[in-house]
Amino acid sequence: MTTKMNALVTGANKGIGLETARRLAAMEFKVWLGARDAERGEAAAQTLRDEGLDVEWLELDVTRDDSVAAAARTMAARVSGLDALVNNAGVALGYVDALGPDGRYERQPSRESVADMKETYDVNVFGPVRVTQAFLPLLLAAPAARIVMVSSYIGSIARAAGDSQSPLLLSYGSSKTALNAVTVAFARELAPRGIAVNAAAPGYTATDLNAGKGRRTVQQAAGIIVQLATLKAGGPTGGYFDENGPLPW
């Protein structure tokens, strides 16, 4: 069993997840890079190891109970506790296809695919629940674990209701709203056990999720995630934040 602090980042073979893994490893965490594809996951982990960082690929498909359970068993055999869990894995099915010539999202809720919506929820909502539940024994074994749910500005009902220019992303947006509710529920349960649970809004970041059309870099996006994953004692829990502070639900 290692005594080094451990962090798990899901969906970490590219984009914001990979940068989050890099930043946490640079802070002397051993980072478990969660990814479902062996080739991509190991390649991403090797890239970070080549930078001198302590990173290991962990096979993890957040949509499969058996995969999540196996990943938790693998880690439990190697470490005594999990200090930080970043639920980063996410999808925005159909988003790129619905972008107009000016880059704006043009699909109305009345035309949204229910099948896509179900698949989106399985990754963006049920995935974080599966992973958090499976790794909870390891999180509880750590002195003061931190859980970060990677949400989005689009998940804010207040923003959507008050901004007529906000894109109507029914599947993705409502999945992040649901994830915010999941954040609050876990935060209320785990606060007495010393675990802080918060949601992070990294902003509209250039990733494969939006075909690189985002305005922010992954370096900018990872900042708030890393901040919440490394909160000191007495820090907030049950909140929804970007780098400027709390956001309206």
Q: What is the pLDDT of residues 56-106, one digit of tens each?
A: 999 999 999 999 999 999 999 999 999 999 999 999 887 767 666 666 666
pLDDT given for residue 1 in this prediction = 46
Active site residue 105: no
Catalytic one among 105, 121, 176, 240?
Answer: 176
Judge whether 240 and 201 are in contact, CB under 8 Å: yes
Beta strands in the chain (DSSP E): 6-9, 30-35, 55-59, 84-87, 146-150, 196-200, 240-242, 245-246
Name the CATH architecture for the domain at 6-246. 3-Layer(aba) Sandwich (3.40)
Q: What ranges do the domains of the chain cover? A: 6-246
Active site residue 232: no
The residue count of the chain comes to: 249
Q: What is the DSSP string of 224-235?
A: HHHHHHTPPTT-
Tokens standing for residue 182: 């999941």
Q: Could you list the pLDDT tens digit for every one of the 249 residues in the chain?
A: 456 899 999 999 999 999 999 999 999 899 999 999 999 999 999 999 999 999 999 999 999 999 999 999 999 999 999 999 999 999 988 776 766 666 666 678 888 889 999 999 999 999 999 999 999 999 999 999 999 999 999 999 998 888 767 777 899 999 999 999 999 999 999 999 999 999 999 988 778 777 677 778 889 999 999 999 999 999 999 999 999 999 999
Catalytic one among 172, 204, 213, 240?
Answer: 172
